[in-house]
Amino acid sequence: MPQQLLRVQSFAVSRDGFGAGEGQSLERPFGHADPAALFAWRAATASFVYRTEPGGTRGLDDYLTRDYDRNIGAEIMGRNKFGPQRGPWENHDWQGWWGDNPPFHVPVFVLTHHERPSFTLADTTFHFLDASPAEALKRAKQAADGRDVRLGGGVATIREFLEADLVDEMHIAVAPVDLGRGERLWESHHELLDRFHLESVPSPSGVTHLLFWRR
C-alpha cells in the first residue's frame, strides 16, 4: 500500500510571508488583505473550482490548481479557516463559508477546542476535533481510506503541523503583493530547508510556486 501523505496544496502567501491580513471577520475573511491579490493566479485558470465561464489558462498555474484534489481522501483545517467565530459556539447555525456544496467532497476535520456535532452538506461531512495534530492526522488518514490528506490551513494550523513535523509535501504560491501585517506563515521559507527539498518555480502570472517535499 502506498504511503499516505499530508499535503498542503495551493496555499497562497504574500511576498512578506503572510497568509491572511489583520482583522479577520465575517465581512473580511482575509482581514485587511485583498483576497484577489492572493488568489488571482488561481482564479485565472481553467480548473479554478468556482469558474462559471468556459476558458481560463492551462499553463503552469493550472497544472498546480488541478492537482488540488488529486488522490485526496480527507482535509484537515483550523477553525479560523472554517469561520470567523472565536471561543465557544453561540449556536450551530454557521456551516462554513462555502454554501450548500462545499468544494471538498471528502471528510473535513476542523480542529477546535470547542467541539460540536458533525454535519453534512452535499458530499462533504464536517467533523470537529479537539485533538493534537498527530491525533487529528491519524483520524483523517483513517477516513481517507488509503488516499492522501490535505492540510487546508490557515496559517496557524500549517505552522502547528510543521512544528510537529507531520507535513510531507507543500505547495505555497507566493503572490506579488506585500501585506506588512497579519497571519504570518514564516519569516523566510529558508527556515524549512533543513527538513525539506525546495524547488522555486516562477510563473508567467507573477506568482512564484514553492514546492517543498520532505528530505
The residues of the shown chain that bind its own copies, judged by CB under 8 A, are 3, 46, 54, 57-60, 63-64, 66-67, 70, 169, 197, 199, 201, 203-204, 209, 211, 213
Reduced to 3 states (helix: H, G, I; strand: E, B; else coil), residue 209 is: strand
Contact 6, 168 (CB under 8 A): yes
The secondary structure of residue 210, as a DSSP letter, is E
Q: Which helix (H) or strand (E) holds 108?
A: strand 108-111
Q: Are residues 47 and 189 in contact, defined by beta-carbon separation less than 8 angstroms?
A: no
Concatenated DSSP letters for 108-165?
EEEE-SS----EEETTEEEEEE---HHHHHHHHHHHHTTSEEEE---HHHHHHHHHTT
Rank residues 23 and 204 by Cβ distance to its own copies and give the closer one.
Answer: 204
Report, in Å, the least distance between residue 162 CB and its own copies.
16
* Contact criterion met (CB below 8 Å) for 169 and 8: yes
| Least separation in angstroms between CB 148 and its own copies | 11
CB closer to its own copies out of 16 and 169: 169
Least CB distance from residue 71 to its own copies, whole Å? 8
* C-beta of 20 vs 172, nearer to its own copies: 172
Q: Which is nearer to its own copies, 33 or 170 (CB)?
A: 170
Q: How far is the CB of 70 from its own copies (least distance, A)?
A: 6
